[in-house]
Structure 1
């Protein structure tokens, strides 16, 4: 059965970070299963692309750029209302079987835009606002945002007919709220581009004490913890190097790095996805310092797909089992993180064993086709095996 799916992306699209990447890869995998997927998104994207599916942009043509994660006045007052209107227009002019909305902004714009249309709404929960929002502000404001987030976590997901979560942690916390029953929540974890990272698997690193971190340097990533741990390890092993393959500026950490005396031991490189396998191949180990993460960090799966030994804080370790396919340290424990870095730099065999086990896990569990098949089962359950009569219409030009 071929379904017509409206995929709502309340974010820059395409973009090389968790939410837009999940939307893009899931849409591709659903298209490969024979479904008609159309993405409805902001007018902003990090690059032009020629996808396998139509893209409808609120406000018209693609604007090359990005929008930082987290609360944003421009999103709330400009892009989200535009997106809701665009969804409403498409709902009235095109037949869809299912709306699949990502993140809370996607859920709200889809719920509002759907109006009276009796189209099943799926909410894709990548995180919990109760833990995400406080990471953007310190002190009293952060605590107030956390309280507001927890209230929203209990009230907003039930607006959807079904909730898909990226981890069992999110599923369990939604069930604890008492507003959803188990039959309305399904776990569909992220996949990873195994073929893209395959050339990094089993490669000899440039040095046994070369460490890599990839992705954004937003405050919630715990990068300051990593710098302090690296400084302690570097004091014992001065040859140690930290390679930061960043999708955001290092400026906010320049002063701390110099204060810790490690700036000369840090290599900053641009986060270019095409070259990421080579950067990972050169490193002996990869790191995940983030201490609070309800979802599954895409960088973690990338590290595993490249066969890297990983040091991760407990809050973001997720599919990592300590001593089995990586090393897990207590949240916020700088000394333990530093000790894990030194241990991996000393023990070649351990690095190899952990990297091989990490690769075997994602090779077995993390295909985007599997994620799409789980979502397909949700759609079929919501539609009762029915699908709309197809109409020939002109889609927006892919952007």
Structure 2
């Protein structure tokens, strides 16, 4: 699927500029006044909604843009039964089951080209009918579809890089294919993002990587993911138990085997501690992980609703993030922070976590080192509370949509006025609270830009 898409996109990129301009003018009227609503599309290639980090981020962003006054349209393999909210939904089909499977491994990969082709057709239809001006494409398949439609209709494309292919794709391939997949993914990182009119990276290291692969620095914006902390507020008032919590899917890149090996050490040292794996996985997938879990007092909790996840986080003392993939921004870290939990994270997945301030960052692949930090968090409720309070303050200061929507809107405008590499500044760690008490009011993140 990707090869013909790239060929078509390259051909479209080479069209005469007058043809491109005429296509755009044929579909879109002259620029509306400053008070008019910008018509934007958010393009997703994975089933939606789903309790996974990327889909949660897409839904949060759609709501934030709609609240800001944009006319927002979400296009992708959506559940047609979902009610319309602040934005309009455009599913591929009226049949709820006519969507890609949640798994992206094995034979399930073979159905993706079919759904990607449907996405291109549906996207073309919606862009033309709704006269969309900008497409926010999330991940590579959505980007490829958006670039194809841009070649036909002239709509602008902003690519949202949730990760980089060179880091992510080998995790889904067998070991004997990993090197070949990594080489192909490296080329992909240097081709597709460079074709977008602007690129939003969720972290500076992803922005650096894409610039290093040939993406113009003038196109790249660094805007971290946002989160609505309200669903987690009730959990912050719960009594903390002697529990460690992992909340997320059970895919291989989560590195749960490392967590289980570390937990054997924790369980032997602290007979009262328990590990709770909170996941939406069910059926055979959940049974497989139950069988592979090492150590006593490991409890698997199925949670399909955000309220169920929030309740589990509210009872724990510390959250964990053992994944080794460096390019993604674990939304679970933001969930922990919003629930007032500190996080023990491997260095690769410690985005949003400040070592010694809002959590523990483990720059070692030894299970004993990960276990040591979990034991420290369990044995020191006051210290865990202090770091959890700092984590909550940090999510308010840097990851609330009230703070992030302005640079996101500026990014949409930057497709017309390229202004260089931008970074939403982080809060100064020295200004974070030293204890768990206090009224943590919302702080706005300045939209002032800083070069990397």
Q: 1:133-152 counterparts in 2 under 5 A?
A: 133-152=169-188
2:88 to 54, 60, 72: 54
Cα gap change, 1:69 to 1:161, in 2 (>3 Å): farther
Quote the offset at 1:43 in angstroms: 4.5
What value does the CA root-mean-square deviation take over the aligned residues? 2.1
Q: Which residue of the partner structure matches residue 191 of structure 1? A: 226
Q: Displacement, 1:27?
A: 1.1
Structure-2 residue corresponding to 1:15: 50
- Matched residues in 1 for 2:74 and 2:380: separation? 47
Q: Tell me whether 1:252 sits opposite 2:285 in the alignment.
A: no
TM-superposed CA distance for 1:62, in Å, is: 3.4
* Cα offsets for 1:214-271 (capped at 9, x unmatched): 11000100111111111111011122111111111422223332xx342x54343334
Q: 1:331 offset after TM fit, Å? A: 4.6
Q: Is residue 2:196 matched to residue 1:160?
A: yes
Runs of 5+ consecutive residues of structure 2 not aligned to the other structure: 1-33, 418-452
Which residue of the partner structure matches residue 390 of structure 1?
Answer: none
* CA displacement, residues 86-119 of structure 1 (integer Å, 9 cap, x when unaligned): 1122233331111111100000011113333222
Contact 2:280 2:303 in 1 (8 A): yes
- 1:274: which partner in 2? 307
SS in 2 for 1:201: helix
What is the SS of the residue equivalent to 2:152? coil
How many residues are treated as equivalent by the alignment? 378
CA deviation vs aligned residue, 1:108-149 (integer Å, no higher than 9, x gap): 011113333222111111000101011123422122212211
Secondary structure of the corresponding residue to residue 38 of structure 1: strand
**1:332 matched to 2:365:** yes
Q: 1:138 to 1:229 in 2, by over 3 A?
A: farther
Mapped to 2, the partners of 1:268 and 1:331 lie a distance apart of 28
C-alpha contact (below 8 Å) 1:314/1:329 kept by paired residues: yes
Shift, 1:377, TM fit: 0.6
**Residues 354, 361 of structure 2: 8 Å contact kept:** yes
Give the 5 Å matches for 1:237-386. 237-249=270-282, 250-257=286-293, 260-262=294-296, 264-383=297-416
Q: Secondary structure at the match of 2:177?
A: helix
Would the alpha carbon gap of residues 70 and 151 (structure 1) be closer, same or farther in structure 2, given more than 3 Å must change?
farther
Q: Contact 2:99/2:115 (CA < 8 Å) preserved in 1?
A: no
Q: 1:353 to 1:329 in 2, by over 3 A?
A: same
| Matched ranges for 1:122-133 at <5 A | 122-133=158-169
Could you tell me which residue of structure 1 aligns to residue 239 of structure 2?
A: 204
- The answer as to 2:73 corresponding to 1:38 is yes
SS of the residue corresponding to residue 248 of structure 1 reads coil
- Tell me the TM-score normalized by structure 1: 0.89
Asked if 1:63 is matched to 2:85, the reply is: no
Identify the residue that residue 218 of structure 1 maps to in structure 2: 251
The alpha carbon displacement at 1:378 in A equals 1.5
Say whether residues 1:111 and 2:143 are aligned partners: no
User: Which residue of the partner structure matches residue 449 of structure 2?
Assistant: none
Are 1:87 and 2:87 counterparts?
Answer: no
Write the distance in 1 (CA, Å) between the matches of 2:137 and 2:315. Answer: 38
Alignment partner of 1:172 is 2:208: yes
Aligned with 2:406: secondary structure?
A: helix
Kindly state the Cα deviation for residue 64 of structure 1 after the two structures are TM-superposed: 8.0
Larger relative CO (CA 8 A, sep 6+): 1 or 2?
A: 1
Corresponding residue number in structure 1 for 2:113: 77
8 A Cα contact 2:277 2:298, kept in partner: no
Evaluate the alpha carbon distance shift between residue 235 and residue 317 of structure 1 in structure 2; reply closer, same or farther with a 3 A threshold: same
Give the drift of 1:291: 1.4
- In structure 1, how many angstroms separate the alpha carbons of the residues matched to 2:47 and 2:268? 41
